[in-house]
Structure 1
Amino acid sequence: MTRKLTLLLSVMLILGLVLGGCAAPAGTTGTTAEQPEAATEAAPAGPFEPMVMAAENCDYGGEFKSMEAVDEKTVKFTLCYPDPAFPSKVAFSSFAINDAGYLESTGGGGTLVEQPNGTGPYKMVEWLRGDQIIFERNEDFWGEPAIAPTLVFRWSAESAQRLVELQAGTVDGIDNPGPDDFTVIEDDPNLQLAQRNGTNIFYLGMNNTFPPFDNERVRQAFAMAIDRQRLVDNFYPPGSSVASQFMPPAIFGYSEGQTWYEFNPDEAKKILEEEGVLPGFKTSITYRDVVRGYLPNPGVVAQDLQAQLADIGVEAEIVVMESGAFLDAADRGEIDGFHMLGWGADYPDATNFLDFHFGPGSSDQFGEGFPDIWDALQEGATKSKAEDRQPWYDQANELIKQHVPMIPIAHGGNGAAFKADVEGAYASDIGAEQFALMNPAGRDTFVWMQNGEPPGLYCADESDGEALRACEQVMQSLLAYEPGTGAVV
């Protein structure tokens, strides 16, 4: 998480203390996590007391000058600089309204992570580890009540298994059908397909603290060695596209007309020989065996990349790591060789993609950062008008191409599938489906099956889409995204 977002998160957690007031704290059990029975009588709310938090100045590095709870339904932010992406950031679920008493009683860990307590249309009642999570309608929800009284999250890493369950009628919706399953779903009158725009990026990362990746010309050579079109044509579903840059076309900050290095394995091999990398270079391709919209077939993509590198004389060993360990190792800059990773939009702005990965507060997955990229991103993030911001992102995208911290490969087309009788079914471009809006033909329970089990359920602690989708059923922010898109409403 970038420094700016970390500071914003800290302030939003304090905002939870200012405006919080939800359900009573929950208890914990061993392998399951359950909400206790609600108290028969809620404690009366005290009178509203205005609260102001203000910084002496903006030298602390964040973007808030002050924050004020004006009344029970109004909060006022005074920023240190213009931030046109601020509404999108505040709508992101990491900045959900928190129950002050619950935050204080849990101490910010343990129970809080397993049993979220928020202001959303559902409340979590039981988490059967390795099996399912059960949510029930929040009868105290401030808005329209959830249509289905019960919501169940299940998971399977196998796209074929998810489709079989949907065809059998044991689930109402599934995430990320396999690339070969789109046509099957469209041809089945009992099913419906909802596609997402490719607001994501799959890339092949390199860490410049490990030789020979500390040589910019070597990184450029590897960029020429990868046939990205071949990967998209063979292993991605309809709606996918070859990436010309890190930014997806549908997100602000994309540079129209920018091109990536042409596929030229002969030139790549020549440069690697000139730089003393070839002959005899051995390396690795490390990844986690987890399906994502940006990477629907991780294993076969890794094998194809291995074969492409072999074509220029590079021997690459494939290394598969457990998901959490892999992400931690990548963030700490510990992966020597290539690593396969990607990113999906949390909110639709360049800051979510570029600042997070290439800004001064980014992780160490690419090694040492690039100050010229930092400067461009700083300028782009603090201009109030889109036409003033875009030239700085054009510059940042061109500098990323020059420095090649990673090789952008694909914007993955993806989607979700549902039973044909589910009304209001849709797939969110940013993976933020609101299941409270979907009607499973009058059935009392809506069952959703996704790729994996959430590592946690407290939105502020999570960056994984599987976790965010689950916690977003329980927690809501000050602002919201329009269903199906990333537009702020």
Structure 2
Amino acid sequence: MLTTGCQEQSEAAKHGLIYCAEGAPLSFNPHVSNSGVTRDASARPLYDRLLELNPVTQALEGSLATTWQMSGDGRTYTLTLRQGVKFHHTPWFTPSRPLNADDVVFTYQRMLDPTHPYHQVSGGDYPYFYSQGQDQLIKRVYAQGPQQVVFELNQPNASFLAALASDYAVILSAEYADQMQRAGTPGQLDTQPIGTGPFYFKEYRHNEFIRYLRHPDYWGGPANIEQLVYDITPKSAKRLAKLLTGECDVMSTPVASQLAVIKQDQGLDLSVQSGMNVAFLALNTQKAPFDKVQVRQAIAAAINIDHLLQAVYFETGQPANGLLPPLSWGYNPSLPARHQDLHRARQLLAEAGLNKGFDMTVLVQPDARPYNPDAIKTAQLIRSDLAKVGIRLKIITQEWSVIQQSMASSRYDSLLSGWIADSADPDNFFRQLLSCSAVERGNNYSRWCSPAFDQLLDDAVTTTQLPFRLRNYYYAQTLLNEQLPVIPLAHALRTQVSRSDVKGLMLMPFGGTVFNKAYRE
């Protein structure tokens, strides 16, 4: 087995690229998981979306759809699909036709219709779709001829087109779904994926590697490399070691403390990209004492953000005055900077009747994430800060699958986590993380539900008038800074390291890397 593994790695190095990734996907369909690792391992290599966001200008561009029109009342969108887009041809599926409107209708009906044959396949949960409220927004989706698809909405929504460009809005094959259903194996739709993307799925060895091969008929032109291997290596030190020895060509999410070594190595190239992300501490507001706003404010006042940035992020982060990063067009520049104030923290705890402090726990994933290069160290620094005001923090390190079980039953005090937006629209941050609908779907880690906050979001997306939308998002940020269901910590720059002979990689500000233009000199 070891000999076979070495031969496979050697072939990949010769004819493609090996990407050292920080984790294993939970699925190969981003519809059914809100895991960033799942999205990165599937959305870009395997699939396409109807629209794309330009990574530089953040403007909408065509992808599987070439043109789109909105009705005068803002409730109907008609999209014309690209001609001749071919699905993957694999040993287990041979497409008989190119992409058409039936594929788009199937993709959305599966998520919209609880009676759809595929709705309950893979658990029946579509975190992004539901957290964005699209199940309530989209009235129906139907084909208007083979190359036109129509979305009818229940009310106008200025964020709708941006949602179509999300990495979670990939388009599936209706023909493949029909074949799998007839074969009695519908689950393969999400585990043996078929898409239209630049690579097709070859194999997956659980927690070891994923192998993709070049899609020769890709509508955007064949990828430069023949194959792409995701080498699953959770520990950052091991990823760097593999990069230095040539076992990997590209390394995801280096720890900030490694950057000095990386910069000194002339055989390595460091890519840095502004990120649409935030790291935060989410407090379970449905559990005492975190249901008291004074307690949440006290925790925020006790945390030394400046120290955290120096010790964890080094030169790769900036303080988060709110959830939105400065890169977002909805960012409120008037939000006050937060600095440690232990006197205020103790005063707030006394007001809450907790002048002697209390015990609490925090759930932490052990692996580095693009928004937080060292979550365990972050938790340790927060523990030290909170101890100064009598709050005794216990750190519980768990894998994400175990953490999800705790959150589903509300058996937790707090969670150290973060978010990477997949569009430039502020709604992508706020609705996903803090809306009432997101509580039900598990994305709202604070379990905070405010009808007033939801109303601000709903009103903001019912118009295309930017000043009105900005006003509502500014109000929303002010409300969040008062209530603090989540405590924003930092916005991280996105970093990635590659060997110097690898060119053409594109690090996306919304997450993921585009490999189809990559090549080796």
Aligned match of 1:182: 259
The structural deviation recorded for 1:190 is 1.2
Taking the TM superposition and a 5 Å limit, the aligned residue runs for 1:110-125 are 110-125=187-202
The structural deviation recorded for 1:324 is 1.3
Q: Distance in 2 between matches of 1:205 and 1:84?
A: 28
- Cα deviation code 1:451-485 (max 9, x no counterpart): xxxxxxxxxxxxxxxxxxxxxxxxxxxxxxxxxxx
CA 1:153–1:384: 2 relative to 1, 3 Å: same
Taking the TM superposition and a 5 Å limit, the aligned residue runs for 1:75-474 are 75-106=149-180, 110-259=187-336, 261-330=338-407, 332-335=409-412, 337-363=413-439, 365-441=445-521
CA contact (8 A) 2:277 2:492 kept: yes
2:87 to 19, 22, 25: 22
- Cα deviation code 1:215-274 (max 9, x no counterpart): 112211211111111101111042310100011111232111112554211121122123
CA 1:37–1:281: 2 relative to 1, 3 Å: closer
1:324 partner letter: S
Flag the structure with more relative contact order, 1 or 2, with Cα contacts below 8 A and sequence separation at least 6.
Answer: 1
CA contact (8 A) 1:228 1:409 kept: yes
Aligned-pair RMSD on alpha carbons? 3.2
CA 1:333–1:352: 2 relative to 1, 3 Å: farther
Q: Distance in 2 between matches of 1:425 and 1:51?
A: 29
SS at match of 1:329: helix
CA 1:211–1:167: 2 relative to 1, 3 Å: same
- Cα deviation code 1:28-79 (max 9, x no counterpart): xxxxxxx53665xx64789999999999xxxx97333554433443333344
The structural deviation recorded for 1:166 is 1.4
Q: Distance in 2 between matches of 1:127 and 1:50?
A: 25
CA contact (8 A) 1:288 1:323 kept: yes
CA 1:299–1:157: 2 relative to 1, 3 Å: same
Q: Distance in 1 between matches of 2:101 and 2:351?
A: 71
Say which is worse superposed, 222-231 or 82-91, in terms of deviation: 82-91
2:347 partner letter: K
1:140 partner letter: D
Aligned match of 1:474: none
1:371 partner letter: P
The structural deviation recorded for 1:338 is 2.5
Aligned length: 414
Q: Distance in 1 between matches of 2:303 and 2:154?
A: 43
CA 1:213–1:146: 2 relative to 1, 3 Å: same
CA contact (8 A) 2:249 2:499 kept: yes
CA 1:100–1:307: 2 relative to 1, 3 Å: same
Q: TM-score, normalised by structure 2?
A: 0.73
SS at match of 2:311: helix
Q: Distance in 2 between matches of 1:306 and 1:167?
A: 34
Say which is worse superposed, 117-126 or 360-369, in terms of deviation: 360-369
SS at match of 1:375: helix
CA 1:360–1:44: 2 relative to 1, 3 Å: closer
CA 1:332–1:357: 2 relative to 1, 3 Å: farther
Q: Distance in 1 between matches of 2:97 and 2:495?
A: 45
CA 1:398–1:49: 2 relative to 1, 3 Å: closer
Say which is worse superposed, 145-154 or 101-110, in terms of deviation: 101-110
Given the alignment of the two structures, is residue 36 of structure 1 paired with residue 110 of structure 2, yes or no?
no
The structural deviation recorded for 1:395 is 0.6
CA contact (8 A) 1:284 1:316 kept: yes
Q: Distance in 1 between matches of 2:103 and 2:489?
A: 50
Aligned match of 1:458: none
The answer for unaligned runs of 5 or more in structure 1 is 7-11, 25-34, 442-489
SS at match of 1:84: coil
Q: Distance in 2 between matches of 1:422 and 1:43?
A: 36
The answer for unaligned runs of 5 or more in structure 2 is 1-30, 33-48, 51-63, 66-79, 113-133
CA contact (8 A) 2:197 2:218 kept: yes
Q: Distance in 1 between matches of 2:159 and 2:264?
A: 40
CA 1:322–1:154: 2 relative to 1, 3 Å: same
SS at match of 2:507: coil
SS at match of 1:398: helix
Say which is worse superposed, 124-133 or 175-184, in terms of deviation: 175-184
SS at match of 1:118: coil
Q: Distance in 2 between matches of 1:118 and 1:270?
A: 56
